[in-house]
Structures are given as C-alpha cells and as structure tokens.
Structure 1
Amino acid sequence: MTKHPNQRTSVSALLGAAVADAQGSPLGHVREFAVAPSIDAAHIHGLVLRLASAKRDKQPSLILISQLELGPGGHMQLRKDAQPTLLQEDDDYLLLERDLLDQQIIDVHGHKVVRVNDVDLVWENCQEDTPDLSLRIAEVEVGMRGAVRRLLKGLPSASVDRISSRFGQSVIPWDFVDLIERDPSRRVRLKIEQDRLSKMHPSDIADILEELAPAERHALFISLDEEVAAEALEEVKPKMQQSLIESLDSEQIAGIVEEMDPGAAADLLSEMTDERSEAILEEMDPEERQEVEDLLEFSGDSAAGRMTTEYLALPATALVDRAIDSLREYEGDIDNITDVFLLDEEEKIIAVIPLVQLLLAAAGTPLADLPRGHLVTCNVDANGRKVAELFDKYNLRSLPVVDHEKQLAGVIHAEQVIALLRASR
C-alpha cells in the first residue's frame, strides 16, 4: 500500500467510510472512533465498524489503527492476517462521535464555553521504514467550518472541502483539551489542568460555570481545588452558588468556605437553612468559623454585612519593617490591600497609610511619620446606599468600618461596592 504521511482528515469525513478486508472485499463501515485515554489520549486506538455481514443487533467490531493500511485516495484496508474483534460493552473507551461531538467543552485560552462540531485527525506513519499507521487527534473544531462539514457529510469529499473552506477556522488544539473522562451518565467531563485554571481570573471561571450545562458545570466545579473554587464561587450569583454546592457534603463546603473572604462566606451561608449553615460551620476551623459567625450577626444591607475582616492594621508605634513583614505573612487576598490602618492603644483607627507610601519608605521609619491618606470611616449600621455615597464622594479604595466604641471592626473594599451597585441595577 502507498504511504500517506501527515494526511489530514476528520471525524465527519471518516464516519460511514468503507473499510476493505485484506483481499480488497467490503468489510464494513466506520461508525465510531475509539480512544483509550489510559494508553494514549492523543491518538485513535481503533475504528469501530458495522460489518457488512453483521446482523443489525450484533455487537460492533473494533479494528486497531495499526491493523490498517491506507491506499490511494485514503481508502482503508486491513493488513494481511489482521482480523476485527468484538467491541465489548465494558471496554473503557472514549468514543468521539458519541462522547465528544455536540458536547460543551472549555476553551481555556478564550475563557469561554464552546460546542464541538468536528474533530480534525491526521494519518501518520509511525516510522519512515515501516508501514505502521497512526491516526493522531489534532484539533477540536468549534466553529462554522466543522458544522458545515458535518452538515454536508455524504457528499464527495472534494465538494465538502471546497464549501467548508469558505468559513473561518476556529479550533482548539487537542493538547489543550487535556484529559477527557466519561462519567456514569456517559457524558463528557473535562479535567482541565489546575495550573491553567489558576492562571484564569476568577470572574472568567465564573462566566464559564454559568455557560455550562448543569452536568458539565458540576463536573468542572468539583475538579477545582478549594482555593480556585472559593474565588470562583465569590464571583457567581447567589442562586448559582447554591446550585454549585447543593450536592456537596458539609465537609467539602467547609473546605471551600474557609478559603473565601469571610464576608463572602457569611453571605453564602446566610442564604442556606439554619441547619445546613450550622453543619458547615461545625466542620470549619475554629478561627475561620468565629470570623464568619460574627459577620452572620449583621444585616446583609448594612456596612457590617458588606465588610471583610481581612485587612492590615498595625499599632501607630510600628515601624516600616513590621508592616513589610505583615504583608509577607498576610494570608488573605493580597490584591485587596491598598492601605494600612494605624490603631491607637484602644484599637481605634487614627490614620490610613496608602500602600505606595509604605513601599517607598526607608526601613526603620515609624509608620506614624509617613504621608497619610484622607481618613473616612462609617459605622457598622450604615446602609449600602451610604457606603456607596462615601466611596463616590471621596474616591475611596477601601472604607474602614467602626463599631459603636469606634474600634475598627472591618473594611469594605471597592469590589464589594461595585458588586452592590451591580446587584441594585
């Protein structure tokens, strides 16, 4: 047989294609593409055929790609002495037509959910001096080109290629689809590498979660590590939050809640029944639990209900060195730290130091000697409208919240106010 290295084809082009036996007689037609992820997730392991001689209710047969030869025009024929085997129902194969086409997958680089319209394949010779073939999975087609190819399936390949080439290419390299597993309901579940997800902004992950169908949404969420899951959960709407965690047990939710901003965690738990909320709190570490319980006591529309207890406050007598060490040791979301608050001996706030002033100061400088920002505070009982007015009037990045003894109780960051304004629109 003639060798055709690097000849491109696709799932839509090969579905229904004829396969001949070693003598050139009709053997059957391609009905599926079997991938064995545990062996090689980048290549087609074998073609599933409906044999020409088989009865309708007979099990389909499997031909390994290594058992095939490729003739002129891409005609497929069995190599000498090769024989098909029955495809067993319990074989752990990913079947591309059944398990991948028309399914939703995540375009990690485009930060969006897309639908698979076709899969691009490449015939390759395993080694130059042997006739062994391999069929590599090159790309996933998610644009109109793939949809048109499937729509025109059955027409001469030259006509299909000519028409589909008029449409722009939109593909995701198979390398970026990572690993695909079938869940018990036979749907596709994507397991994206955690390092890729961790590089995405939490709001992008939240958008993806909202675009996915329920089964895929749940599968993606439970694949996230606790920190990434917590950040994404803070970005979705309350109704979606409850949907994402409703199937998780209290221990799993507690692990995620501990990674959330305490204010966001309190908002999440306040939407649950008292019984469910208490069960989750019982699973949390004592320190994180106490912070959240304190915030649960406040009205959600009050300043206290909007504030977080994650901030950086130091005695007015502290030096720059101490502040730098505190920044390094800070375990909250460092992106939210825009100011350092100075407290007197009674824990009352007396000054706010912009972070940039801290970074420009020499080591050993007393914090009290640094240029100060304009100090604006609000009471724990202030409503959301008052908080928004203060941010707008003074162009604030953060707003300290003080209790009835004028002690620092928490801080409201700009992102909480933006979320408040969006929710009120």
Structure 2
Amino acid sequence: MTQNEAAAGAAKPADKETFLSEILGVPVVLKEKKIGTLGDLIIVETARIPEVKSLYVKRSFGYPSLIIPWENVVELGHRITVNITALEPFEANPPEDALLLKDYVMDKKVLDLEESEVEVVYDIRLVQRNRKLYVTDVDTGKSARLRRFGLGKLTRVLSADTAEDQMISWTYIQPLPNNIGSFKGDVKLKVLKENLAEIHPVDLADIIEELDHDQRMAVFASLDNEHASDTLEEIEPNVQRDLIGSLDIAKVVPLISAMTPGQAADILSVIPHSQAEDILEALSPEMAKKVKAITEKQEEKVIHYTTQKILRFQPETLVEYVQNDYPNHARGKDVIMYIYVVDTLDRLLGVVDLKELLIADDKAPLSAIMTENVISLNAESTLKEASQEFERYGFRALPVTDDEERLIGAIPYRDVMDLTHHLLE
C-alpha cells in the first residue's frame, strides 16, 4: 500500500487450451516447408504442473528426428510453426531421462489411493499462457475417447452429457519416476490426506472445483476450520453453493465466522435465501449485523468491510523483532502484506510493505523504513470511494481511520473488488 506500489499492468492475452490428441501428428513447419510431424512433447516437472520444454519431431525417409525447444515454437495449432536457423543442430533422439508425455502418460491406467483402477488416460489437456505451455489435466472421459478416435466434433454435440467425463488435475498426479526409460507403469494419484494441509487455498480451490460432488465433500470434510474457510472463499460460486448446501449448519457457521464481513456476504449471496437467513441467525450479533447490512445494501460504507485482524506496531519496534517472529505475528490475521505503524493512541503514522520489511536493516526501527504519506479511508468512506482508490493505486488493502486518525482496521482489496454481489453497481 505504499505510493510506489501503484499497479496497473497491461492486459495479458487469454490462455489458449488444446489437447495433446489434437496436435499429435500435425505438420511441423519451418519457413512454410514441412520438416516433420509432432511425435511427442518432452516435459519437466519443476512445479505443481509440468511445463513443456521441447518438441519431439519425427521425420520420414530415414532422416534423424529433431528435438526443438519450446521457445522456438511460433504457432501451435493445426500445424506447428518453428523458428530455427538450421535443422542439423537439433537432430537428436530424446535423452534417456526425458519425460515423454504421450509415451509415458497416454493410455496408462490411473490408480486411486487404494491402488484400484480408476480409468485410462485417453487425452491430456494443455494450456498455453504467457508464451509457455503447461500440462494441466489428464482426461479419462468420453470426450477424450472421441477425440482419440478422430471424432472431436462429436464432443460439442455431446457436451451436455458429461456423466462419464472425468478430468483429473495434474496436481493429483504423483511425480513420474526419474530415469524412467520406456515407462510401462501406471499413473498414480497422490495421497490426499498427507498433502492437503500443504496446499495453498487458491490451489486447493482449483482442485476441489475439478472433483465430483462426493469427492468434493470428502476432501472438504478433512480440512480444519481455518483451512476450509480460506479455501471456501476462493471457490467458484456454483461450487460454494454445492458445498454449503450439503454441509450441516453447525459446520458452516464456524467457516463463515472466520471470514471478513465482505467475504461472508459474498458467500451468503450465492446460496438460497432461507439458508442464508438461518446462517445469519446463528452468527454473532455483531457479525450478522455487518453481513446483513452488506447483503441487503442498506449501507455502502467501508466500515462494514473493515477487519481489525491486521499487523500494527509502534514506530520504535525494530525490524528484526517483526521479521524473526513474523509467522506468529501474522497468524490469524486477514491482512498480512502490510505492517501499520501507530502511536500510543493508535493514530496511524505510516505503513511498511512486507517486501520492504524483508530487505530492511535488522536493527532499523519501523519509523525509519515506513511510508508516512499513507493513502487511507475514513470510516464514513463509501465503497465507491474505496473502489476508486484501489483502481488508482493497485493496493492490496487500505487502512481505515476515524476522524482523529486513529486506526480502526483495514479493508482488503478482494472485499471490494472481487465480490459477486456487486454492491458498487
């Protein structure tokens, strides 16, 4: 929330989705001349989802195959256009430790947690983003089988019938073995209960959205309240509705209570009115009042979105004190990317961005590194005013003060800009 954090990046191109079956065997073209066909993709598993590093290009008439790095690909579609100076430097066979997507994953069995067969991988979904190509899912469903038989057009006709379709996020897939040579094994899923606690709520939300209802409920039920609450905030509204509608109110109320009022209102706005009323009645009177004011649009003041779960310290506090015990300081807080500096009367003196804290001298007091020119909101500020400030500066949260400049709390960006009930319209 410092002045130099103002944000407004240029619009990024939309992600482009394709399936491996749609590009296998397509011509690979250099300067409008066909040099071979796509035989496979070589991937690396360096993150939660693999990244395509090279094309394995097959050639006819006894010519050696080519391994062309992904960064040399200009176009990916009904043909693949590459930009290289000559073929000879790229003539090679895949190295022994290369992970070949088609060879090692397509047509392999998928085993569940008990080693029982789930299905067979008929296709693999790829997403091109920011000039990189990622492997996001394996497809074991009916549409994938149709694509494999060259009947891709039928998938659009039958798209409404998805009962047999199952797209499994790669985040579920165990890493493929190293030095696998010609892999003949099965594709195995990760052990969920040993991994769920380590998955960030945003990533976990993506996984949960991919599951069917029974799997979704089983996964969600295994989470502790704090993790479940954070994850619920990140899930798409239709999935939120599915989850909350299937949970007992005794389970829902602690989840809603752990949220900020804005996020709680966002959740309640997507479920049936009668159910939302039951939940409101079970919340604390103060929380229910704030949430109700938001959902019914009775008031559009930022005070109803403000959270007091923030980091605040006095100006003489040393950087090392905040750094050394930051996980404990931040535990249970709704805004953790900013440290607010206040005097003994809680008047707001300045703010320190987390990034600035991490690079600051350990022995420096917060007063030496804080930004004194703080953009803040008043308790009487409207949501429209908050929206304008967020759009202008790109802050991730804004402090809220009273008429005496005392710090009341802060309002997160998401609680104004990302809500589905559109109070600003």
TM normalised by structure 1 equals 0.49
Q: Which has the higher contact order (CA 8 A, sep 6+)?
A: 2
Larger Rg: 1 or 2?
A: 1
